[in-house]
Structure formats: structure tokens, C-alpha cells
Amino acid sequence: GQNIDQPTEMTATEGAIVQINCTYQTSGFNGLFWYQQHAGEAPTFLSYNVLDGLEEKGRFSSFLSRSKGYSYLLLKELQMKDSASYLCAAMDSNYQLIWGAGTKLIIKP
């Protein structure tokens, strides 16, 4: 079956760095997406990886290892506004997205 695993909740301190991990099992693979979702709001796109390696975009970076079925989202210089849920989604061979349940990130002052 197809499956996405990510931690349910994480806590970090303002100004620090946090890494949110995601492992996936899909029928075929066409890329890995990360979305941010603030409470009560819609998910918004953060990053997309289809090749192995690190993609950096400002304070946020995303890493992919296709051989390990593994990705992580790295958030640097954490700000209070980064408190949100982070959704990992893998695209299968039919170009359908398989979503994880999301990781709720709590930022403390």
C-alpha cells in the first residue's frame, strides 16, 4: 500500500533550527511536496523535490533521498509565524498526491 509517515507534533524555540522528517512508500514516484498550513487556513505550497539532494529557498530547505524514500524540511531562524502544520505529500506513478497527516510545529519564545 501507499503510505506517508511524519511526526505528529514537534516543538522548537524561536531562532533555532528544526528538521521535520517524512518517509514515503508509493507505487512509482514523481516528486515530493511540502505544504504549510496555518490553523484554520488552506495549505500553501513550500517546496518540491524530484531529484536527490537539497533545495534551498530562503529560511526553508527541503531534502530528498529517493533510494531511502525519505525527505526532510529544514526551517532555520525560526519565527513565531512558523507555528503551523507541515504536510508532506508524495506523487505516485499516476500523478496523484498521497498526503501525510501533517506535523504540527509549535514555536516557543
Residues forming the site for other proteins (CB under 8 A): 4, 8, 30-31, 33, 35, 41-45, 48, 50, 87, 89, 91, 94-102
Q: Which residue has the cell 531534502?
A: 63
Q: Which residue has the cell 504540527?
A: 104
Q: Any bridge partners for residue 19, and if so which? A: 74
Q: Which residues contact 95 (CB under 8 A, 6 or more apart)?
A: 30
Which CB sits closer to other proteins, 57 or 95? 95
Which CB sits closer to other proteins, 5 or 76? 5
Q: Which residue has the cell 499516476?
A: 94
Q: In the complex, what is the shortest distance from the CB of residue 15 to other proteins, in angstroms, rounded to a whole number?
A: 30
Which CB sits closer to other proteins, 22 or 78? 22
